[in-house]
């Protein structure tokens, strides 16, 4: 099995692992006494660098993204040319010894560099992110570099923590993670406008290209080919009736076959048409990839219900989409949702899970992410940490929609833009008033009028309301929407029909009620809304790595 004798191209026997790199978080959060004197390799990007002592050494504030804090790094001019190291954005991998800084320094440990292992330089004249403070709006034009800023990297860590906390919470409670489909042929009750997924455009382009290289046959070509088939056919008949030799007949049959094949190829190509395939004046989706219209999901709920009706407690956590021309600071065309679905659970159970999930997320950030949260308090929202503490520790208020309306109607200290009347969908101003002013803590509003809610929500005995609930929190308003699902076949059929929807696309959904139906409930949490709530950042475009909205889908 020796291969040394063959071409040595690519037979790189010198492959070697890199020296283990120490994360800056493990240094800045470490115990100073244990760290001082240790040799480490550290890599990261220079936040600020400055030459000191007439250019004899430089201080670098180095950040590796493992935490908010930088490590102070000291490099002597003898070790490496300093001008290459000091520009903001420069990448360095350095080796050195951790030292105790002089008395009075704010950091508890710093790195004295012994050798610079690697440098990724920056021309400060060209670097788009100078060290002056940049607005989040400006940074959106630099989606590929903005993760190097304090704010966006802190958001990324908070987002990661919330994702992990989500999986942890549901696992602890016996839930299984289910990947619901992104491409779907179901419409979740017109939850919003949908993006269509297609290969019709690219297919049309291919046909067009093909026709350019190899033009479509003319009718004359087809006629000629038909004539040839006829002639060859006649020859075969003649030979047969004249009892020619087997050999002769078989030769003529073979020619006939060829002529037929050639004709069918021509006829196939004759049908080729540039453009989107049409049938009866409409686009022919039978020619599309899935043989029908397909869309990007607006919610995994209906599909994940099929798993709840088999595995009991399940959840989905994935991207969802809305093709709405919404330019607000609260909407994205692509965003992530967490959607648990729970068998044998009623609306009260649903609220209990929603409340403990949100509390768990808040406590998780307090326990695992306090530095980044302190950064948010300092720079975006003084109340951010207080809010997490409040939510994680106080029971959520629970009021029926009817009561909420009554309370809002009695409000005298504020004039709402949208008048409150039983039957309306609560507007953001109402929701925020309830949670921020009236109760000053999270509020769950339940039992909404059926007219403003989706068909799949369980009809209450009053026949006027459905077992829906929304969790409202300070700062963002609605964070969670959920409901008990209608598990009674006859009621569900009526609700679908009454909503003006056709039954056929929901037959599979009805099957869940036909065969071993189960009381079940679920909810959806907008993941980016949760990050807005936690951080106090104002615009949802800044809490997702690559925001998509009308006119923008960078990268």
User: Who's near 237: CB < 8 A, 6+ residues apart?
Assistant: none
Residue placing its CB nearer to a copy of itself in the complex, 174 or 215? 174
Q: By CB under 8 A, is residue 424 in contact with a copy of itself?
A: no
**∠ CA(474), CA(477), CA(481), 5° rounding?**
125
Stretch that binds a copy of itself, among 102-110, 369-377, 393-401, 533-541 (CB under 8 A): 393-401
Q: Is residue 551 at the binding interface for a copy of itself, with CB under 8 A as the rule? A: yes
Question: Taking the complex as a whole, how short is the minimal distance between the CB of residue 452 and a copy of itself, in angstroms?
Answer: 12
Q: How far is the CB of 236 from a copy of itself (least distance, A)?
A: 37
Q: Does 15 bind a copy of itself (CB under 8 A)?
A: yes
Residue 371 sits in the site that holds a copy of itself (CB under 8 A): no
277 binds a copy of itself (CB under 8 A): no
Nearest C-alpha neighbor of 478 from the set 337, 325, 276: 337
Give DSSP secondary structure letters for 346-377: -HHHHHHHHHHHHHHHHHHHHHH-HHHHHHHH
Residue 414 binding a copy of itself, by CB under 8 A: no
Tell me if 389 contacts a copy of itself by CB under 8 A: no
Contact 133, 149 (CB under 8 A): no
Torsion angle of alpha carbons 20, 23, 24, 25, nearest 10°? Answer: -150
The string of DSSP letters for 220-247 reads HHHHHHHHHHHHHHHHHHHHHHTT--HH
DSSP 420: -
Looking only at residues 76 through 95 of this chain, which bind a copy of itself when binding is defined by CB under 8 A? 89-91, 93
One residue of 47, 80, 159, 359 binding a copy of itself per CB under 8 A: 159
Binders in 207-266 for a copy of itself, by CB under 8 A? none
Question: Which residues touch 489 (CB under 8 Å, ≥6 apart)?
Answer: 510, 513, 514, 517
62 is an interface residue for a copy of itself by CB under 8 A: no
147 contributes a contact to a copy of itself by CB under 8 A = yes
| Rounded Cα distance, 165 and 160, in Å | 8
Q: Which is nearer to a copy of itself, 59 or 228 (CB)?
A: 59
If one asks whether residue 425 binds a copy of itself (CB under 8 A), the answer comes out as: no
Out of 59, 289, 360, 380, the only residue in the binding site for a copy of itself (CB under 8 A) is: 289
Q: Which residues, 531 to 550, sit near a copy of itself by CB under 8 A?
A: 544-546, 548, 550
**Alpha carbons 232 and 225: distance in angstroms, whole number:** 11
Binding-site member from 12, 103, 219, 417 for a copy of itself (CB under 8 A): 12
Out of 23, 57, 360, 380, the residue judged to bind a copy of itself by CB under 8 A: 23
Comparing C-alpha atoms, which of 316, 380, 53 is closest to residue 175? 316
* Interaction of residue 465 with a copy of itself, rule CB under 8 A: yes
Q: Is 360 in the site for a copy of itself (CB under 8 A)?
A: no
Binding mask 490-529 for a copy of itself (x = CB under 8 A): ------------------xx-xxxxxxxxx----------
Residue with Cβ nearer a copy of itself (304 or 473): 304
Q: Where do the DSSP E strands lie in 369-476?
A: 397-400, 443-449, 465-473
Identify the DSSP state of 169.
H
138 belongs to the binding site for a copy of itself (CB under 8 A): no
Which element (helix H / strand E) includes 87? none
Task: Decide whether 263 or 317 has the Cβ nearer to a copy of itself.
Answer: 317
Distances in Å between the Cα of 84 and the Cα atoms of 55, 87, 115, 423, 443 are 12, 7, 14, 66, 55
Output 348 or 371, the one with its CB closest to a copy of itself. Answer: 348
| Strand pairing class (313-321; 176-177) | parallel
Q: Select from 33, 34, 118, 234 the one that contacts a copy of itself (CB under 8 A).
A: 118
Q: Which sign does the torsion angle of CA 213, 219, 223, 226 carry?
A: positive
Among 446, 353, 346, 441, which Cα is nearest to 397's?
Answer: 441
Residue 296 binds to a copy of itself (criterion: CB under 8 A):
yes
Nearer to a copy of itself, 157 or 441 (CB): 157
Angle (CA) 257-262-266 rounded to 5° is: 150
Please count the residues of this chain forming the interface with a copy of itself, following the rule CB under 8 A: 139
Q: Does 343 bind a copy of itself (CB under 8 A)?
A: yes
- Report in angstroms how near the CB of residue 186 gets to a copy of itself at its nearest: 5
Is residue 186 within the footprint of a copy of itself (CB under 8 A)?
A: yes
In terms of Cα–Cα distance, which of 460, 455, 449, 472 is closest to 529? 472
| Distance between CA atoms of residues 163 and 336, nearest Å | 10
Pick the binder of a copy of itself from 112, 330, 464, 494 (CB under 8 A).
Answer: 464
From the list 101-109, 214-222, 446-454, 534-542, the region that binds a copy of itself by CB under 8 A is 446-454
455 contacts a copy of itself (rule: CB under 8 A): no
Range 315-334, binding a copy of itself (CB under 8 A): 318-319, 321, 323, 333-334
For residue 133, the minimal CB distance to a copy of itself (Å) is 17
Report the residue number, 252 or 447, with the smaller CB distance to a copy of itself.
447
Find the shortest distance in angstroms from Cβ 332 to a copy of itself: 10
β-bridge pairing 39-52 and 57-63:
antiparallel
């Amino acid at each position: 099995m020796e291969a040394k004798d063959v071409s040595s191209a690519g037979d790189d026997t010198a492959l070697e692992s890199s020296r283990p790199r120490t994360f800056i978080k493990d240094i800045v959060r470490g115990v100073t006494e244990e760290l001082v004197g240790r040799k480490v390799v550290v890599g990261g990007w220079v936040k600020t660098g400055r030459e000191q002592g007439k250019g004899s050494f430089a201080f670098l504030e180095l950040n590796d993204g493992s935490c908010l804090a930088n490590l102070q790094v000291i490099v002597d001019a003898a070790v490496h040319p300093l001008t290459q190291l000091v520009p903001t954005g420069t990448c360095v991998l350095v080796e050195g010894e951790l030292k105790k800084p002089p008395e009075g320094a704010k950091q508890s440990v710093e790195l004295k560099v012994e050798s610079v292992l690697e440098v990724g330089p920056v021309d400060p004249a060209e670097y788009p992110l100078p060290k002056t403070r940049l607005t989040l709006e400006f940074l959106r034009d630099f989606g590929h570099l903005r993760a190097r800023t304090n704010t966006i990297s802190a958001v990324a860590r908070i987002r990661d923590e919330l994702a992990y906390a989500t999986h942890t919470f549901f696992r602890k409670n016996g839930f299984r993670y289910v990947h619901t489909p992104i491409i779907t042929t179901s419409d979740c009750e017109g939850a919003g406008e949908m993006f269509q997924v297609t290969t019709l455009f690219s297919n049309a382009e291919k046909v067009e290209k093909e026709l350019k290289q190899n033009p479509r046959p003319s009718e004359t070509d087809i006629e000629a080919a038909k004539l040839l088939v006829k002639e060859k056919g006649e020859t075969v008949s003649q030979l047969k009736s004249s009892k020619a030799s087997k050999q002769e007949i078989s030769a003529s049959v073979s020619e006939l076959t060829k002529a037929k094949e050639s004709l069918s190829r021509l006829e196939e190509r004759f049908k080729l048409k540039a453009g989107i395939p049409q049938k009866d004046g409409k686009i022919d989706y039978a020619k599309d990839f899935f043989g029908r219209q397909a869309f990007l999901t607006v919610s995994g709920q209906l599909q994940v219900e099929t798993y709840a009706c088999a595995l009991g407690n399940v959840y989905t956590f994935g991207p969802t989409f809305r093709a709405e021309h919404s330019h607000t600071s609260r909407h994205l065309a692509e965003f992530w949702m967490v959607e648990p679905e729970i068998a044998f659970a009623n609306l009260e159970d649903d609220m209990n899970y929603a409340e403990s999930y949100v509390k768990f997320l808040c406590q998780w950030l307090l326990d695992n992410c306090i530095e980044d949260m302190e950064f948010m308090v300092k720079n975006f929202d003084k109340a951010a940490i207080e809010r997490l503490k409040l939510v994680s520790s106080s029971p959520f208020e629970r009021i029926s929609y009817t009561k909420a309306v009554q309370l809002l109607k009695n409000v005298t200290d504020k004039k709402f833009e949208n008048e409150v009347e039983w039957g309306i969908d609560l507007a953001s101003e109402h929701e925020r008033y309830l949670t921020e002013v009236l109760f000053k803590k999270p509020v769950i509003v339940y039992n909404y009028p059926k007219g403003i809610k989706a068909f799949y929500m369980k009809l209450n005995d009053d026949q006027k309301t459905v077992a829906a609930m929304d969790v409202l929190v300070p700062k963002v308003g609605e964070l969670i929407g959920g409901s008990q699902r209608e598990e009674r076949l006859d009621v569900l059929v009526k609700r679908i029909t009454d909503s003006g929807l056709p039954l056929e696309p929901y037959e599979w959904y009805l099957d869940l009620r036909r065969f071993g139906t189960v009381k079940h409930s679920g909810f959806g949490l907008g993941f980016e809304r949760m990050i807005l709530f936690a951080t106090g950042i104002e615009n949802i475009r800044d809490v997702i790595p690559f925001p998509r909205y009308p006119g923008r889908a960078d990268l």
